[in-house]
Structure 1
């Protein structure tokens, strides 16, 4: 599916049609171009200081999915989905500032003075305990939500999974210490509809100005 097709999709249709699907067609595969389109559009998610606190570990080989299965406590969708994406939080995303802002200066998006000021702010903020971890998890979660919406716009279904052994995931897939797994997301073609779900009403979840 081309980017022009994505642009013609109604956003509210995508939002309302997205559900967590756990049953997938195991015979369906995603093309390399589709995976690239998914990630390129996911990469447009917002992030603090534009540090892009994420990496995407794509698991598409059958034997690698089988390694994920026990790590994900036997959740079947990691085997039947076309791909599983492990969203990784970059806990050292402050190191991204120099290349990202240097590119922005080169393209005329900001001055060198602004770049130097921002890098100073970032390095100061990252001296706060757990700042890297907190920012990594928060911002990679924004990318995770973006991925699920982009996937639905591409006629794919998804399911976010927080229930998995993160340490075993790190060990089995040689994930560097700079990254920690935020969640797993299955992506594929549904073989059965998602389970029905309900939502709280507007009044039940909304408070104006103060409790």
Structure 2
């Protein structure tokens, strides 16, 4: 069994955290940087992140998050957001690809042109679905990286997204997707069963 296999199996949703344990801002930034290697549609990287380490703000957020104790007791809450207008960053992203030597300017220019021609004509709801899917890959990568470093996490979709958006003054194109509590477990997570692969998979050979 590889180390990655072990991390995937060890990661569980922890809901009880040591309220006195802290994680440095720099450590969370490192996790976010590595998580941003996740794939995304047209490489537009539509995830946006708010990290809440302030205890008073975590307490306030708990009221928005259905009174879930882990919001207040964890070392930090990482809010994963999506940007339905991420395509507007295409020029910056692909010119950076050129600067880093990944693609030629010609390829970048064609990609920018195609992106700016396509995405504005896609319905906003579809763009939000794309952003949510991509942000989900980012979130999963973040949680696995956290576990690899000895931290515990739990993802929470059960919070008042309208109140969250208002509290953090989100622009209309940026919307909350999930909250991730991160810290040190004070009590172990419950084990969970998994349905067999054959129950959800069809092979054509």
TM-score by length of 2: 0.93
Report the Cα distance in structure 1 between the residues aligned to 2:73 and 2:201, rounded to whole angstroms: 38
Matched, 1:110 2:103: yes
Residue in structure 2 matched with residue 181 of structure 1 by the alignment: 176
Residue in structure 2 matched with residue 13 of structure 1 by the alignment: 6
For residue 14 of structure 2, give the secondary structure of its aligned residue in structure 1.
coil
Moved more, 103-112 or 83-92: 103-112
Aligned Cα RMSD in Å? 1.5
Q: Deviations over 1:82-104 (max 9, x none)?
A: 00000010111101210111111
Matched, 1:46 2:58: no
The size of the alignment, in residue pairs, is: 202
Matched, 1:69 2:62: yes
Report the Cα distance in structure 1 between the residues aligned to 2:100 and 2:184, rounded to whole angstroms: 40
After the TM superposition, which parts of structure 1 deviate over 6 Å for at least 4 consecutive aligned residues? none
Q: Residues 13-32 of structure 1 correspond to what in structure 2 (within 5 A)?
A: 13-32=6-25
How far apart are 1:35 and its partner, in Å?
1.3
Report the Cα distance in structure 2 between the residues aligned to 1:113 and 1:135, rounded to whole angstroms: 26
| 8 A Cα contact 2:82 2:128, kept in partner | yes
TM-score by length of 1: 0.91
